[in-house]
Amino acid sequence: MRIRITSILSLFLLMTTCAVAAEAPQRQKINVVTFWAEQQFDAVSPAGKSAIAIHFELEKDWHFYASADTAPAINMNLKLEPNEQGTKVLLFGKPIFPKPVWIYDDALNKKIDIIGGSFAVYLPFTVAESAGEKTVVVDIVISGAVCSNTQCRVPDFGSVKVEVKIKPGDVSAQPKFTLPEPHKSPALTGQWADYSVWAALVLAFVAGLSLNIMPCVWPVLPIIVMRLVEQAKQGKSKSVTMGLAFCTGVLLFFACLAGANIVLKLVYNTTLQWGDQFRNPAFVAGMAMLMVVLALFMFGLFTITVPSSISGRSGSGKGFGGAVGMGFLAAILSTPCSFAILAAAFAWAQAQPLGLATLAIMVIGIGMATPFAILTAMPALLSKTPRPGRWMELFKQTIGFVLLVIAVKLIAALPADRRMNVLYFAVALGFCVWMWGGWVSYAAPASRRWAVRVIAVALAVAAGFVLLPAPKPSLIDWQKYDSAVIKQAQNANKPVLMDFTADWCLNCVVVDKKVYARKDIADLIKQKGVLAIKADTTVSDYPATIALKEIYNEPGVPVSILLVPGQDEPQRWRGLSFGDELKLALEQLKNQ
């Protein structure tokens, strides 16, 4: 009898759980956004009114643009479009959006209205009076860019399917929600949306034009201008041919981006997000080092020679290929300096159908290539370019400092545990570039030039292998210096090991590698329950700096101090090689 009752109760609980699950709204998570649909009433009578609520939950620090007027590009604002399948019996009104929050966007240099956190968008509708009993399926298409302070994404939200039940008679029930007072809808009218495509393409073209004035492109501009001048001397036909080759290189770069976007969209159902590459530490470090090398070029540490086949003094295919390569390089160099421009353009493009998105990306490339096409088509314009002089050399060197600022900005975006090593590598790379350009002249024998340059490249590669790999995580769970935490550990008869260090202390780095990177020492610290403190004395007013002088009377770093319960005097180690002594002291501690 007890077994039967238990079985009946279990079956009842299972059925109840399934019923609740069936009634619960189906949540979807796309990228950083979770959303689901909810109906105001379970059923609606003909001529009755109801609404569909689309609930959104965004991860922290992400938001939608509420209005097309303040969004950085066309069609980036949040939009919901209900599409009824079959006979049209539902008349939808304007969507009711939540009240937005106004913030000031530094990148756009204006105030924008955004929607973030948890909110709902309501789609009110009225059922046609002639509608009979039926179930109407509505697909609600969601689109728009979701952004943070540093990036924008255009996820493929797809649509939310909702089944609206229509039943004649009195089907009134308690509503699941009440419609709020309507705010200004950010939805665009069809007429404005049609016009916005042309406006966006014009803006994409202007964005492409602006890439030519980015500081990152300036190092190759002298070479480009020199090439154009040389080609102009050989006749208009040659000038136009090589100029078009350069423009082809620019367009090839953007064609690669458009192709990558197509593959990601069709194969992986995702989009190419401009800025995702900057989340790859290797890419950021590589671009920073490229800025350093170009800065050294602007300072005159080395020169880029243009062979006759590339500069256009011969009609070989190499000249055409060199022009294409130079255009491709110019487009690549524009990327670190044009994040805001290209991010907005790409975000808009990927909110459009695939064909229009591809066109918009290519229009950016056309905008960048247009000035060079005009110059090569009208060689007489080149005669109006300013003559070289002292001013040009000073201008080049000034741009070198601008490129160094960009490099520092890129390095600052790296994870904290990689910045110092990348800075060290930048110094090593600068030395190798100096070797390449300064140790031998072009008049030196070819064998000597090649020997020096092979050594320079080898040193750069060796420095990269040593400095650039991601640092291994520390084997010891270090805590920040806190006198209260240390006092609490001492009161609990817990040993405390303090490693007094500083960011500017090179010997401290050696101690970390020779002593605290040892697995046997790390295992003993964990086994004995030692509180490990990384005492940072980089700045004079840090608590660890004050304690080092006033409590422990130590003149400098590195120094390690072990506080053993029951001992008045702490054990101290100075210097670089005390691993075995520390191990012996840890072994003598009691197990916790």
Q: What is the pLDDT of residues 109-126, one digit of tens each?
A: 567 788 988 999 999 999
Answer whether residue 192 shows pLDDT above 90. no
pLDDT at res. 193: 39
- What average pLDDT does this structure show over 478-499? 91
- Residue 18, pLDDT > 50, answer no
What strands lie across the sheet with 496-501, from one edge to the other?
479-480, 531-536, 496-501, 559-563, 571-574
Instruction: Tell me which of 165-179, 191-205, 312-326 is least confident.
Output: 312-326
**So what's the pLDDT on residue 189?**
37
Cα gap 84→190, rounded to integer Å: 18
pLDDT at residue 310 greater than cutoff 70: no
Do the beta carbons of residue 467 and residue 422 sit within 8 Å?
yes
Categorize the per-residue pLDDT at 571 as very low, low, confident or very high, splitting at 50, 70 and 90.
very high
Please report the beta strands in 521-586, taking only residues with DSSP state E, as ranges in sequence order.
531-536, 559-563, 571-574
Residue 530 has what pLDDT?
92
What radius of gyration, in Å, describes the C-alpha atoms of the chain? Answer: 33
- Closest to 312 measured CA to CA, from 260, 399, 365, 234: 234
pLDDT of residue 312: 42
Taking 50 as the threshold, does the pLDDT of residue 191 lie above it?
Answer: no
Which region holds residue 31: left if phi is over 0, alpha if psi is between -120 and 50, else beta?
Answer: left
* Mean pLDDT, the chain, integer: 79
pLDDT of residue 21: 40
Q: Which of 471, 491, 473, 475 is nearest to 483 (CA)?
A: 491
Return contacts of 504-510, CB within 8 angstroms, 24+ apart. Answer: 504/538, 505/557, 505/558, 507/557, 507/558, 507/576, 508/557, 508/558, 510/576
Q: What is the pLDDT of residue 314?
A: 39
SS3 90: strand
**Residue 148 DSSP code:** -
> Would you state the pLDDT for residue 389?
66
- Give the start-end residues of each E strand in 117-230: 118-127, 134-143, 146-147, 152-153, 159-166
E-state strands within 145-204:
146-147, 152-153, 159-166
Segment (H or E) for 37: strand 33-39
State how far the Cα of 62 lies from the Cα of 43, in Å rounded to an integer: 35
d(CA 233, CA 581): 77
Q: How confident is the model at residue 297 (pLDDT cuts 50, 70, 90)?
A: confident
Average pLDDT over residues 153-180: 83
Report the C-alpha gap between 38 and 51 in whole angstroms.
9
Residue 127 has pLDDT above 70, yes or no: yes
Give percent of the chain above pLDDT 90. Answer: 20
Prior bond of 558 cis (ω within 30°): yes
Domains (ranges, CATH) in the chain? 25-168 (2.60.40.1250), 195-414 (no CATH), 479-587 (3.40.30.10)
| Six-digit token string for 386 | 């300013």
pLDDT grade, residue 36 (50/70/90)? very high
Q: For the residues 378-392, what does the mean pLDDT come to?
A: 65
Furthest CA-CA distance within the chain: 106
How much is the pLDDT for 53?
Answer: 94
Q: Of residues 331 and 36, which shows the higher confidence score?
A: 36
pLDDT for position 592: 67
Task: Return the minimum-mean-pLDDT range out of 83-87, 448-452, 576-580.
Answer: 83-87
In the chain, the N- to C-terminal Cα span, in Å, equals 54
* Residue 166 token pair: 């229509």
Burial class for 501, CB neighbours closer than 10 Å (0-12, 13-18, 19+) = buried
Q: What are the C-alpha distances in Å from 165 to residues 45, 81, 125, 161, 265?
A: 9, 20, 13, 13, 35
Q: Determine the average pLDDT of the residues in 448-466.
A: 91
| 8 A C-beta contact, residue 215 and residue 402 | yes
Q: Is the confidence at residue 451, as pLDDT, over 50?
A: yes
Q: Which residues have a Cβ under 8 Å from the Cβ of 362 and sit 6 or more positions away? A: 251, 254, 255, 258
Phi first, then psi, for residue 83 (nearest 5°) are -125, 110
Question: What is the separation of C-alpha 269 from the centre of its chain, rounded to a whole number of angstroms?
Answer: 20
CA angle 371, 199, 261 (to 5 degrees): 75
pLDDT of 16 > 60? The answer is no
- Band (468; pLDDT cuts 50, 70, 90): confident
Task: Find, among 212, 112, 335, 262, the residue nearest to 345 by Cα.
Answer: 335
Say if CB 371 and CB 209 are below 8 A apart. yes
Question: What gap in Å lies between CA 424 and CA 429, rounded to an integer?
Answer: 9
Lowest average pLDDT, out of 192-196, 535-539, 561-565, goes to 192-196
Nearest-CA neighbor of 558 among 582, 534, 580?
534
- Rounded to 5 degrees, φ, ψ at 147 are -130, 155
CB 227 within 8 A of CB 411: no
- Ramachandran region of residue 312, left (φ > 0), alpha (ψ -120 to 50) or beta? left
